[in-house]
Structure 1
Amino acid sequence: MASVSLAATGALTGEGCEGAARGAGATGWAQESSESGSMTKADTGERMAGRGCHRGRGLRYRPRTMLTRRDLLAGVGASVALGAVSAGCDDTSTPMADSGAPPVDGGPPIDMVDFLHGVASGDPLPDRVILWTRVTPRMGVMGTATVRWETSSTPDFATVTGSGTFVTTAARDYTVKVDVAGLTAGTTYYYRFSVGSTRSPVGRTRTAPSGSVDRLRFAVVSCSSFAHGYFHAYRDLAERADLDAVVHLGDYIYEFQNYLYGNVRTYDPPTAVVTLSDYRRRYAHYRRDADLRAAHQQHPFIAIWDDHEFANNAWRDGADNHFPKTEGMWSVRKAAAMQAYFEWMPIREQPDGRIWRRFAFGNLVDLMMLDTRVWGRSMQEVEPSNNPSRALLGADQEQWLLSNVSSTTARWKVIGQQVQIGPIRPDLNADGWEGYPVARTRFLQALATMRSSNVAVLTGDIHSSWAMDIAIDPFTPSAYNPTTGAGSLGVEFITPAITSPGDHPDAVLATLLSQNPHLRWGDPGLRGFYILDCTPERLQASWYLLPAGSIEQRERQRTAFASAWSTLHEANRLSPGGEPAAPRANPPALAPAEPA
């Protein structure tokens, strides 16, 4: 019988000020003190509108040539960390002690709730996995709801392998999240929830393997702007039965109001999200999308946030898209965004809002997921300096990462994170690792010193596809040789956006490749994902992209194979991957689309 422990955050008291509607206007940039509201540079007006400016990757900088990536704002603020607590139990979960939930004294009438937001799972370990759903009262009012969960080895639930109950309330937005333990490593499970006779769709998940592992397959995704189009790539993933997990590198939601950034579909709420209620509504809106629900239904997600789960170009103590005069203290908004994320995402929570964590997939892969966004990041600089105090990860996270890289015995050291570590000329990405040159050099020099092989970095954020070698200085021939790979410390695979727009026109691709010797392949703007196929001999990333313009079409569109690149065991450099790795033979059955 499986056991369960509660994975939940408590209720957060107090919400920030409602955000004012963004207006069109000035094209300059401003910096503000998010806590006090005082100005540190001249305020040139309101948010930029109608310019496609908020891409979430860089901020305004002085380009080396006339070719630029985008034109953004910069800002400052202050932060708070949100705590998370877990409590164990046998097979019935209860609200955490400080959640503010009333005792179980009834609930909605049987059959008076719906599972409108589907089911999800995540953070697989060899013996446990997070299961998630949300109940919606049909009458709009509900005190408590006791939700039953069940697991099975088959989609028809002929044999129930585990069960329990979870009591949810408005304090956690009626979300349900259980950490089901006592599972078998490397095994597919089916799960479902029910209230009375009302059942959720059946979900499908998989635990991480242990011991000797000969193959793993992950889908790697990021950046799903609802306003820019339809989530066809998520639907493609839902139809793949042979994935071990979906790795989501952030920008799962976007915080903007309608028509500021994208106009294919509209948001709920229609204004920018600032308060806890706003963020909850935005997640609920996303999870009504059938394609996203289908992807969650079929695969466990391993997710991290980027900036748009908070506000554009967020950092530890502020964001360029946060305006304290109209939106209140950044610390309150940041805490609200964290709480909504933990409520709505199938993530195993840790203290103080920390999401950097490690997943072991037997002896084949150690996956280390980072927070380059709001844990330790210093404010972005338009002209990045060599100030050694400027941090991207923070000292504790950086030490944790280097310790794991040096101590792991897994064949492949895979780092999942948000922003690109390799530079792409002629631009300067001040929001990426290049904007923190001392921190970037320190990390890469540590890799070189420990002579760590088989490092692969998975990156999202920049809405385009790239495969590149990682070198401390890829532009100096004595430091990096693209022909032999000398000087390369590992490889970086950058996944495209699900829908968010790319930067570069196709016409400049040849120029970018010629100016960046470490850049082996790229696509500047098509949407999609890549499949990371892992064996003891090699890692292969195979990109699957949608045709241009297809995300704006409601009718089903499908991705197609575009390119594959590999890194061989101990090569620490890229090689052309040829054809994509074949899917697994006879994978476990997908979950049925309707409640079983």
Structure 2
Amino acid sequence: MTTALPRRTVLASGATAAGAVTLAPALPTAAAGGRRRRVFAHGVASGDPLPGGVVIWTRVTPTSAASPGSGRGPRVTVRWEVARDAGFRDVVRRGTFATGPSRDHTVKVDVTGLRPATWYHYRFTWDGVRSRTGRTRTAPATRATPRNLRLGVVSCANWQAGWFSAYRHLAKRDDLHAVVCLGDYLYEYAPGEYGMGQGNVDVRRHDPPREMVDLGHYRRRHAQYKTDPDLQELHAVAPWIVTWDDHEVTNDQWRRGAENHQPGEGDYLRRRARAHRAYDEWMPVRLSGTADLRDGTRLFRSLRFGRLAQLSMLDLRTHRSQQAADPTTVSDPKRTITGRRQMAWLRGALDRRPQWKLVGNPVMIAPVDFGTLPDALTGAVRDVTGLLPEDGVPYNTDQWDGYTADRNRVFAHIADRGLRDVVFVTGDIHSGWACELPYDAATYAYENPARRTAGVEFVCSSVTSNNLKDITGDPTGATSTAVEEGIRANNRHVRYLNFDDHGFSVLDLTPERAQMDWYVLTGPRDDRSAGIRHETSWRTRSGTGRIEQVDTPVGGPA
């Protein structure tokens, strides 16, 4: 995507979750609690739930010298426990984990031998100090038929652009089986480079106070983000399923370079390797199928939730061709956004048996034709979404629109196999969208039920990263409304578009339908007390490949 400065390409069982759960305090006294906050300053997290296992994570700070990214501090052994109850009277798994400066004192354990579709509690202990307690949940058994699957959906959380109020409100829900993060979990920029609004105001400054390039920089930035109390809370209440987009390394990256990488910053592939190493250390995710380090960096993977759903998470940065400088080359069959190996894997994943075939998609796949927008608006739209290149040609060359041969391969596979119930869940573009995915966008008419689709796409907004109103500075929203109306007029498959709000989404699946609810902040991003409200809901009924608006969101607080 593109920002303004510098340029950027702007489970379920039959019931919903187990109800509100009070996490047990780690230690009984204020003094002990203070020490806990120093030793386990970065919270706890879990992720990648399987029917019999889940990854649990923390970071220990054994001495003041052992700060993130320092490469200093002693090697220590941390104890971990997993229990069925918050009081840890029924511990089902326990063990120890050795960590030290070689892995930035992070702890990541792939806990196995657990029961499917079950809530668990976990914690860590070092030198008599306990971490806070986290809560996690395993996936349903492969042949189970869960009544629903409910996922929180987030993307694009820029520390400098505001407080993470969206995380706070999402964490208050007691009905989520997991949280899906579709990329841009953190940002690489130095203070003053990409903040809030037209002036790039730093609501809070990045650490280290420079663009991250070295391994120590990436480690410190991950550590900083995980000190945010709202992010810590959301990590502690449910497992996360994550993928990266570009900013986890640097803006507009492709397989051998990036827009925001200059020769003076060293070899790009080495920079990317450092970023991936820090990501592996600091995120509750399996790379190349394991929680171990140094065994590979493959991030694309599938997680299954019984017979109801399978979630296939894509990596659309590591293997892609460079973005097209000439829009006439976007259909070149030699150019790829997935890479050959990931494309074969994705087509195989779509063939599998679960009813709902979810695709965790870092960048938008729906075709978008912008027609003619006023000259004064094309720059703002480009800065927010990357949907318009500098020459004004209406193509989105950083998204699937810039790699149409790969999109055609996916859509053709869906058509040839007669696949149904395909839902792409997308982040990246700092705006909310609900779209159908026509095989022929030029002749598509929503009113004609004979017009077939490859599926639907639901796009969540950003947690904090700038949207169109932020860039234009129009407090009335009139500018955004004009752009939204123009886009929908030129793209009849785009049914909902919101360029103005920040927040999160909730995706709920049942055998009958898949529904996405969009929630937006009621206050500015620099207000830590900003509220939340339900904005809209859209669903696709099973077997239709079409979407419709609905009035009522699913579960959770209003």
Pairing 1:561–2:534 present: yes
Q: Distance in 1 between matches of 2:450 and 2:209?
A: 50
Partner residue in 2 for 1:119:
44
Is 1:111–1:196's contact at 8 Å kept on the other side of the alignment? no
Is 1:111–1:195's contact at 8 Å kept on the other side of the alignment? no
Q: 1:461 to 1:112 in 2, by over 3 A?
A: closer
Q: 1:562 to 1:443 in 2, by over 3 A?
A: same
Pairing 1:423–2:423 present: no
Q: Distance in 1 between matches of 2:37 and 2:456?
A: 52
Which aligned pairs between 1:143-542 and structure 2 lie closer than 5 A? 143-210=74-141, 211-262=144-195, 263-324=202-263, 326-350=264-288, 351-374=295-318, 376-384=319-327, 385=329, 386-406=331-351, 408-426=352-370, 427-477=394-444, 481-484=446-449, 486-503=451-468, 505-542=480-517
- Kindly indicate which of the two structures has a greater share of residues assigned to helix: 2
Residue deviations 1:501-522 (CA, integer Å, cap 9, x gap): 1136233222222221000111
Per mean C-alpha deviation after superposition, the further-off stretch among 430-439 and 381-390 is 381-390
Instruction: List runs of 5+ in structure 1 lacking aligned partners.
Output: 1-47, 59-69, 71-109, 585-596
Which aligned pairs between 1:83-162 and structure 2 lie closer than 5 A? 114-141=39-66, 142-162=73-93
Residue deviations 1:89-141 (CA, integer Å, cap 9, x gap): xxxxxxxxxxxxxxxxxxxxx98960000000000000000000000133315
Q: Distance in 2 between matches of 1:435 and 1:154?
A: 49
Q: Distance in 2 between matches of 1:503 and 1:551?
A: 14
Is 1:383–1:430's contact at 8 Å kept on the other side of the alignment? no
Matched residue SS, 2:525? helix
Is 1:269–1:282's contact at 8 Å kept on the other side of the alignment? yes
Letter paired with 2:532:
T
Residue deviations 1:469-493 (CA, integer Å, cap 9, x gap): 011321224xx54542612110000
Q: 1:138 to 1:161 in 2, by over 3 A?
A: same
Is 1:224–1:500's contact at 8 Å kept on the other side of the alignment? yes
Residue deviations 1:347-375 (CA, integer Å, cap 9, x gap): 0121531000000100000110111111x
Q: How far is the alpha carbon of 1:438 from its aligned partner?
A: 1.4
Q: How far is the alpha carbon of 1:578 from its aligned partner?
A: 2.4
Partner residue in 2 for 1:27:
none
Is 2:438–2:451's contact at 8 Å kept on the other side of the alignment? no
Q: What percentage of aligned pairs have identical amino acids?
A: 42
Matched residue SS, 1:582? coil
Per mean C-alpha deviation after superposition, the further-off stretch among 302-311 and 154-163 is 154-163
Is 1:429–1:435's contact at 8 Å kept on the other side of the alignment? yes
Matched residue SS, 1:137? coil
Letter paired with 1:434:
D
Partner residue in 2 for 1:16:
none
Per mean C-alpha deviation after superposition, the further-off stretch among 344-353 and 144-153 is 344-353
Per mean C-alpha deviation after superposition, the further-off stretch among 300-309 and 446-455 is 446-455
Matched residue SS, 2:186? coil
Is 2:314–2:360's contact at 8 Å kept on the other side of the alignment? yes
Is 1:564–1:578's contact at 8 Å kept on the other side of the alignment? yes
Matched residue SS, 1:261? coil
Instruction: List runs of 5+ in structure 2 lacking aligned partners.
Output: 11-34, 67-72, 196-201, 289-294, 371-393, 470-479
Q: 1:577 aligns with which of 534, 550, 554?
A: 550
Per mean C-alpha deviation after superposition, the further-off stretch among 134-143 and 480-489 is 480-489
Q: Distance in 1 between matches of 2:450 and 2:134?
A: 44
| TM-score of the pair, normalised by structure 2 | 0.83
Letter paired with 1:487:
R
Residue deviations 1:361-403 (CA, integer Å, cap 9, x gap): 00000110111111x2000013331221101101111011101
Q: How far is the alpha carbon of 1:459 from its aligned partner?
A: 0.5
Q: Distance in 2 between matches of 1:214 and 1:195?
A: 40
Q: Distance in 2 between matches of 1:567 and 1:276?
A: 43
Q: Distance in 1 between matches of 2:231 and 2:324?
A: 35
Is 1:482–1:517's contact at 8 Å kept on the other side of the alignment? no
Is 1:485–1:573's contact at 8 Å kept on the other side of the alignment? no
Paired residues, what number?
477
Letter paired with 1:552:
D
Is 1:54–1:261's contact at 8 Å kept on the other side of the alignment? no
Matched residue SS, 1:511? helix
RMSD over aligned CA atoms reads 1.8
Q: 1:111 to 1:446 in 2, by over 3 A?
A: closer
Letter paired with 1:561:
H
